[in-house]
Amino acid sequence: MAASKFKAETVAYRWQRYHASLQTGHYLTVQSKRQDPVRVFFGQGDIDGACGVHVLSAVLVLMGLAKNSALQDMPRRKYGVPAEVWAAFQHTFFCGVFAHEFVELADSLKLPLNLTLRQDKDGGLDKWTVDNLLRGELVAVTFASVKNRRTKHWALCVGCEGTTSGRDSRTDTILLLDPSGSEPSFQAANSRLRVPLIGPGSRGGKTADELRKSKGAKPIDWLYEGPEWATEPMRLTAAVRFRFAYWE
């Protein structure tokens, strides 16, 4: 039979990948060992600066190291992981916590976790963050406003998003579980960091993959998008990867 004269059309689609343990529904949950699925999200109030504590709490629930209900009651707990988290982090509740202190305090809890910190001064922060997300890992990030640097915030990266055309796959979005936003319903994230396609900071419309792979690439000006915040360009300042200690 003669070969077809027409090439098959290239299949193009948009994809989304998020952490394997997340279960979407009315509430975002994770399956516990002996109980019904438990909620993951912890919301930040108007007065506190405890976004770092909320992010760590979500990680502990996702990794099965603490219960959601116990963490919500951490200031009144006398024993267990929630009590230890509060003892270590309570002084940061209103003023916030920097990335290096976050790692030091989390390590002091002696949990079966290995935390790896990368900061913007190390170089390659965007690439390192996206690479870990593509491997299905949990990464907490801090980001700051490009405009005024006054906005400094923690959020948990739970996945990424991009496009595929034929054999070419490109990442252009980081999916966030942001404690300052509302609890997500029927989705794994409540906000995102996206590479802008046009306008200031667009970098020629390149995707995150192209920017992070280019030699000597500058940090990416991500566009923060979420229902509670006005859209604003942000830059990653630090990232913390979480792994079980026995993975290493």
Task: Tell me the domain boundaries of the chain.
Answer: 21-247
The whole-angstrom separation of Cα 212 and Cα 219 is 8
Q: pLDDT tens digits for 46-62? A: 899 999 999 999 999 99
| 30-35, Cβ contacts within 8 angstroms, sequence gap of 24 or more | 30/61, 30/62, 30/64, 32/64, 32/67, 33/64
The whole-angstrom separation of Cα 232 and Cα 3 is 52
Q: pLDDT tens digits for 92-113? A: 999 999 999 999 999 999 999 9
Q: pLDDT tens digits for 118-132? A: 999 998 999 999 999
The whole-angstrom separation of Cα 56 and Cα 61 is 9
| Phi and psi torsions of 112, nearest 5° | -75, 55
* 176-53-175 Cα angle (round to 5): 5
> Picking from 146-160, 167-181, 214-228, which range would have the lowest pLDDT averaged per residue?
214-228
Mean of pLDDT values over 152-177: 94
CATH architecture of 21-247: Alpha-Beta Complex (3.90)
Band of pLDDT at residue 6, cut at 50, 70 and 90 = very low
Per-range mean pLDDT, top range of 28-32, 84-88, 151-155, 231-235? 84-88
Helix (H) or strand (E) holding 82: helix 80-89
Phi-psi region of 125 (alpha: psi -120 to 50; beta: other; left: phi over 0): alpha
8 CA to centre of own chain: 38
Q: pLDDT tens digits for 165-181? A: 988 889 999 999 999 99
Q: For the whole model, what pTM was predicted?
A: 0.89
